[in-house]
Amino acid sequence: NAGVTQTPKFQVLKTGQSMTLQCAQDMNHEYMSWYRQDPGMGLRLIHYSVGAGITDQGEVPNGYNVSRSTTEDFPLRLLSAAPSQTSVYFCASRGGTGGNIQYFGAGTRLSVL
Amino acid sequence: RKEVEQDPGPFNVPEGATVAFNCTYSNSASQSFFWYRQDCRKEPKLLMSVYSSGNEDGRFTAQLNRASQYISLLIRDSKLSDSATYLCVVNDKTGGFKTIFGAGTRLFVKA
């Protein structure tokens, strides 16, 4: 079972560079989301999607873009990386009913120098 | 007030101890409830769902009190391997998608 797959696992960027964090799920889940987790802190929601073609902002959306062209994929784009975006990024997915469990990818550890 | 609040921790307990984590949520329309476990530098993983009737999985017992908007997790006979951060998670159905994570309570179990 692949579940939620994130790539890359690690990334180092220079300030001002752009990149895309990839996320794919094979569970046909409607809901997908991106979180960031800073050291010693809780999860903070960046963007989420309730289905293909539908995205919305979470708690900390600035500096990030998302799109959802297919059910399976939900990439996160960093437009112009800043040191404040150094964090661990988790992608998650869940089914459409309220009782459904959220599954996480293994995370991408990003450092911006 | 935070939507999901947990004990700030950390909890430091000896092996074999019983430890209880508490969580409160603010939205009375919340629909489903979970405890997740997160090991250092790893992704959160489901520990157990929480049902109104209470449920048990081995050494772990979860309780939900909808009237008080309170969720608990009890760990009996703590093991070294229980050391982790425990996250209280609530799914809200109102307004569509909303999964809310508590900040987590760190548990250290020592020999």
CB < 8 Å to A101, chain B: 34, 46, 49
Evaluate the CA torsion angle A33, A27, B87, B71 in order and state its sign: positive
Answer whether A43 sits within 8 Å of B91, measured CB to CB.
Answer: no
Q: Which chain A residue lies closest to B47 (C-alpha atoms)? A: A101
Query: What was the pLDDT predicted at B99?
Result: 85
Among B42, B91, B103, the residue with its CB nearest the CB of A42 is B103
Cβ atoms of A37 and A88 within 8 Å: the answer is yes
Is the pLDDT at B94 greater than 70? The verdict is: no
Share of chain B above pLDDT 90, in %: 75
CA atoms A33, A38, A41, A46: torsion sign = negative
Nearest to A50 among B92, B96, B104 (CB): B96
**Pairwise CA distance, residues B49 & B32, whole Å:** 8
Say if CB A60 and CB A34 are below 8 A apart: no
- Token pair 């329309």 is found at B29
Alpha carbon distances (Å) from B39 to A66, A77, B27, B75: 28, 27, 28, 16
Q: Cβ–Cβ contacts within 10 Å for residue B81, how many?
A: 8
Q: What pLDDT was estimated at residue A45?
A: 93
Residues of B in contact with A60 (CB under 8 A): none
Q: State the pLDDT at residue B18.
A: 98
Contact of B18 with chain A, judged by CB distance below 8 Å, is answered with no
From A101, A43, A3, A32, select the one nearest B49 (Cα to Cα): A101
pLDDT at A41: 86
Over residues A11-61, the pLDDT tens digits come to 999 999 999 999 999 999 999 999 999 988 889 999 999 899 999 999 999
- Look at residue A25 in the predicted model and tell me its pLDDT: 96
CB A80 within 8 A of CB A13: no
B99 touches chain A (CB under 8 A): yes
